[in-house]
Amino acid sequence: MTDVTISGAKWMTRGQISKRTGCNAETIRYYERIGVIPPPKRSSAGHRRYSDNDADRVAFVLRSRELGFRLDQVRNLLSLADRGNDSCADVRAMTSAHVASIRSKINDLRRMERVLKDLVAKCEEGTVPACPIIESLYLGDDRLPPI
């Protein structure tokens, strides 16, 4: 299906915007429902009409989500982007806080990895009747580093 021209403007269907952005059509509907992207304009027959700007916003949301921003943060970023030039410091502050959160999660994951590797090292590949991993999970093990 090709883009439809109505009153000189080029419009797309949800399927077309989905194909263009790589975003599932139901996800686009969800983003509309929760207000992350505005509801599309409608033709006189009631058909949804998406613009290039709508596709750009969907792509923005997808990329932001790929970078780990929560939906409330995406809303804030979109709001700041809509404001214009005076928002760069706010975007920088939000992104810096997000980076700090990611670093914290990475540190937590590294600690979990160390603990799990220690548990695996205690296991003798099933040659003892009781599993040291299961026992450690049930009882805890003071010799393992805290998570």
DSSP codes joined into one string, 40-90: PEE-TT--EEB-HHHHHHHHHHHHHHHTT--HHHHHHHHHHHHH-GGGHHH
Across 23-27, 80-84, 122-126, 131-135, the highest mean pLDDT is recorded for 23-27
Predicted pLDDT of residue 1: 46
Least confident of 52-56, 80-84, 114-118, 133-137: 133-137
Cα→Cα distances 47→6, 108, 128, Å: 12, 48, 67
Who wins on pLDDT, 28 or 8? 28
Tokens coding 125 = 């590949």
pLDDT at residue 95 greater than cutoff 60: yes
pLDDT bracket for residue 10 (50, 70, 90): confident
Predicted pLDDT of residue 6: 45
Predicted pLDDT of residue 136: 79
